[in-house]
Amino acid sequence: MKTLVLLDAHALIHRAYHALPKFTSKNTGEPTGALYGLSTMLIKVIRELKPDYLVAAYDLPGPTFRHEAYSAYKATRKEADIELVAQLKRSHDVVAAFGIPDISAPGFEADDILGTIVEQVKNMRLPVGQGKLKIVIVSGDMDVLQLVDGDRVVVYTMRKGLEDIVIYDEKKVEERFGFGPKALIDYKGLRGDASDNIIGVPGVGEKTATDIIKNFGNIENLYTEIEKASFAKASEGKSGLLKERIIKLLLEHKKDAFFSKNLATIRRDAPIKFQMPEANFTLNKEELTKLFIELGFNSLVSRI
């Protein structure tokens, strides 16, 4: 089996920036804490996952289709620090020095690029004798868990900092949330997501949203049931799981639920045409050593 590793580069840089102390390069004077964290993560990923193919997905500056649909999308987030922005830009040099191609599309987030790649390669045939393709998504953002598919598409992520790693396959997602990856967007449609300013259904908390998903499967099934005239009066069955107050909130905020689900859904139709790299991934040792020395990452040179 061949392994394609997809990097959520934008999320990894953010994770590294907030996990490590701020420090600067003695050689260039530029901030490098997040770049150092990204470099250590990439070395760890290459060593542990031994990818046959390795590709990075990036956000681009500017609004996305989600901002166009909902002007308040991510509006509660603070503006990125100047040092973080500088390292996001510089991270392209780090990724290139590793020998990793990167891909992005205007108006789409890195998550959407990852989802589109997963969609485009799921039925891709490898050359005879190479077997099937396993996809490992490396990200610090739990949103990508909705892309998990059995043990064929898994997510390699960090619980704390950069070292506490967990790999989510479908079984692991179910253990964590109580339902499968496909239902995560329905959960967000109900619960919302404060980090992205997705409102969900006001008054529906984590436990209620979880119980609803466990018993109804998705938002569509939920509303099919609760909009029946007999539902609220039923003395048995699923209606017993919902209090009258919750039913009222759900009915009042039906549009919010479906809109929030739509915002939370990773697109799989970004305007890219993904081609598998022609050659297996090979670490670009010479370029990487040169860049590490320039950035002052002397301790990482020996790890190459």
276: exposed, middle or buried (Cβ count in 10 Å: 0-12, 13-18, 19+): middle
Give the integer Cα–Cα distance in Å for 268 and 180. Answer: 18
**137 is a domain residue:** yes
Assign residue 296 the CATH number of its domain. Answer: 3.40.50.1010
**211 is a domain residue:** yes
**142 is a domain residue:** yes
pLDDT value for 87: 93
Give the integer Cα–Cα distance in Å for 16 and 119. Answer: 28
59-73, 86-100, 188-202, 213-227: least confident range: 59-73
Q: Are residues 258 and 204 in the same domain?
A: yes
**269 is a domain residue:** no
Q: Are residues 221 and 255 in the same domain?
A: yes
Q: Are residues 152 and 235 in the same domain?
A: no
Domain holding 166, by residue range, is: 2-178+274-301
8-12, 26-30, 137-141, 185-189: least confident range: 26-30
Give the integer Cα–Cα distance in Å for 158 and 137. Answer: 12
Q: Are residues 9 and 94 in the same domain?
A: yes
Q: What is the pLDDT of residues 123-153, one digit of tens each?
A: 676 655 566 799 999 999 899 999 999 999 9
**26 is a domain residue:** yes
The total number of structural domains that make up the chain: 2
Q: What is the pLDDT of residues 182-201, one digit of tens each?
A: 999 999 999 988 877 788 99
**109 is a domain residue:** yes
